[in-house]
Amino acid sequence: DGGITQSPKYLFRKEGQNVTLSCEQNLNHDAMYWYRQDPGQGLRLIYYSQIVNDFQKGDIAEGYSVSREKKESFPLTVTSAQKNPTAFYLCASSISRLAGGRNEQFFGPGTRLTVL
């Protein structure tokens, strides 16, 4: 079955520690995205990648880093510089980096990060 997987589903981190969230897709999609969701604030874009070895900052990139070494994988690192990292993190992918056609984003099940 094709889809997007995120791991782990729940993650606990001590303050001051970096943590990496995994996102893998087998849909052969070019573009991948990371969002953060807080109660009452909808989804906010952290980083996105339109093609392998390239990525751009979204609206709230401070305190986060990403890499895109393989088409299938787009891991997100939450660093100790992120002041309020407790949130629900969602990864998504779309077939193309360009608009045109339906080109909807497919979402993973999410990772809930809690900083203790």
Partner 1 sequence: SQELEQSPQSLIVQEGKNLTINCTSSKTLYGLYWYKQKYGEGLIFLMMLQKGGEEKSHEKITAKLDEKKQQSSLHITASQPSHAGIYLCGARNTGTASKLTFGTGTRLQVTL
Q: What binding mask, one character per residue, do residues 81-100 give for partner 1 by CB under 8 A, x or -?
A: -------x-x-x-x-xxxx-
- Cβ atoms within 10 A of the Cβ of 113, count? 21
Output 13 or 112, the one with its CB closest to partner 1: 112
* Plot region of 80 (φ>0 → left; ψ -120 to 50 → alpha; else → beta): alpha
Vertex 41, ends 84 and 110: CA angle to 5°? 70
Question: CB of 77: closest distance to partner 1 in angstroms?
Answer: 20
Q: What binding mask, one character per residue, do residues 39-78 give for partner 1 by CB under 8 A, x or -?
A: -xxxxxx--x-x-------xx-------------------
Q: Does 2 bind partner 1 (CB under 8 A)?
A: no
Residues of 33-68 as b/e, b for ≥16 C-beta within 10 angstroms?
bbbbeeeeeeeebbbbbbeeeebeebeebeebbbeb
Output 80 or 107, the one with its CB closest to partner 1: 107
Residues at the contact surface with partner 1, assessed by CB under 8 A:
4, 31, 33, 35, 40-45, 48, 50, 58-59, 88, 90, 92, 94, 96-99, 102-110, 112
